[in-house]
Homo-oligomer: A and B are copies of this chain.
């Protein structure tokens, strides 16, 4: 962009990180010398060098894209992070704050005084400010809003009211609009006078006097058509428009299916209020998938790599506690059969096999189910069909792999009855596991929950407990105890 000629973009953030780290190391060495030998005659020289290095670091930081500055900050231990943060120009701190993760943002904001925060936030757009405000010190919001024009202030308020996960929470307010009878030349003249494109979008929205959406004019239509053409003639009619309260997941899927760059957003009255852009959608998709990966392991959204051990350890407690509870229940199930195990101690060796294979089969069915739910593939009729298909698969795989394990058991322990118990338990466990794998995500979805969160632990808990119950229960029937 001509107005920011010095911003570097990098393909390899690793190299960037190493480079900044080296600069910091070098400065730390010099700063250390200054501190440790205050009486030396090199003092002045050294503090000069330290200052020089700070200037060099500041220069490097100033050249970084806010997203890269955020990346560097996230990857520095706390002391260095704050040292570097102090070198970021006050006016550039706002965009950097938008880019860092929640966990890191908190610490960066704490390090700033009120005036610095006001300075950092003053140039942000309405949607950006709305995103930041909940994490800022409480007293500052009125002052921040007061400094803005009425329309802008109303937009910030609006943006804060859209629930997370809705289109409204991610849309931009700044949109280029035209009327149907506007000529393309008039649009071009307006753009040249303005010298900029609002919101960096690839489209111009066509609206009527009441701001009702009439169509969408891709910028390429401006370029390839004669200037006298009216917007209404070349606009795309009935464009795909989102409501502010549409779920983002659905909007992201539509962006992907249709290769959209920008889409209009309307409110409940059909009034154009903003647009949703592909760059925000891409970020949303990426973040959702990462959140899902972490959530499956029971971790909160993000964890500062450099948080103190006690903070990180505590982050994992709820999930560990839940797991312990589930394992404890499974353990009590086994406890009921200790008499049988005393009789046939081989059961103790064999039972983890049942639990393991059950958990595995359940998680496979679950993964397919979650994908189907995410791809919007499941009507009720198809759900029943899927359930019966999975049951067939469970039965088939139970026969095949139960047969294999029964043969192995027979070879190992020379006990045909034990092998029979193994076969029966494998079949029943696999049937139970795939059914659970299908039903749990479906149930969570029906209850309005995200099926990707929590499905795994529920399924593993169920397959462990029921797997032990099936195997040891069958064994108790056969061997007594």
Q: Which residue of B lies closest to A188 (CB)?
A: B223
Q: Are A353 and B371 in contact (CB under 8 A)?
A: no
Residues of chain A in range 134-191 having any CB-CB distance to chain B below 8 Å: 188, 191
Q: Are A254 and B9 in contact (CB under 8 A)?
A: yes
Interface residue A209 (Cβ < 8 Å from any Cβ of B) = no
Report A442 CB to chain B, min CB distance, Å. Answer: 14
Bound complex: CA A332 to CA B278 (Å)? 53
Q: Which residue of B lies closest to A2 (CB)?
A: B234
Stretch at the interface among A14-22, A107-115, A123-131: A14-22
Q: Are B323 and A240 in contact (CB under 8 A)?
A: no
Report the contact-size class of chain A (Cβ under 8 Å from the partner).
Answer: 35 or more
Assess A310 versus B224: contact at CB under 8 Å? Given A68-B257, A352-B355. Answer: no
Bound complex: CA A246 to CA B240 (Å)? 34
Q: Are A1 and B236 in contact (CB under 8 A)?
A: yes
Assess A305 versus B386: contact at CB under 8 Å? Given A17-B379, A74-B377, A357-B324. Answer: yes
Query: How many copies of this chain does the complex contain?
Result: 2
Taking a contact as CB atoms closer than 8 A, the residue among B320, B341, B355, B401 that contacts A345 in the complex is B341
Stretch at the interface among A34-42, A54-62, A86-94, A282-290: A282-290
Q: Are B377 and A67 in contact (CB under 8 A)?
A: no
Interface residue A330 (Cβ < 8 Å from any Cβ of B) = yes
Q: Which residue of B lies closest to A356 (CB)?
A: B327
Assess A222 versus B224: contact at CB under 8 Å? Given A282-B255, A312-B389, A368-B299. Answer: no
Complex contacts, A389 vs chain B, CB 8 Å: 309, 312
Q: Is the interface of A mostly helix, strand, loop or mixed?
A: helix
Q: Are B377 and A352 in contact (CB under 8 A)?
A: no
Complex contacts, A464 vs chain B, CB 8 Å: 352, 356
Q: Are B379 and A14 in contact (CB under 8 A)?
A: yes
Complex contacts, A320 vs chain B, CB 8 Å: 357, 360-361, 397, 401
Q: Are A338 and B330 in contact (CB under 8 A)?
A: no
Residue of A191, A246, A251, A278 with most chain B CB atoms under a 10 A cut-off: A278
Complex contacts, A251 vs chain B, CB 8 Å: 11
Report A291 CB to chain B, min CB distance, Å. Answer: 10
Q: Are A65 and B257 in contact (CB under 8 A)?
A: yes
Nearest 5 CB-CB pairs, A to B? A259-B279, A289-B289, A297-B367, A327-B356, A67-B257
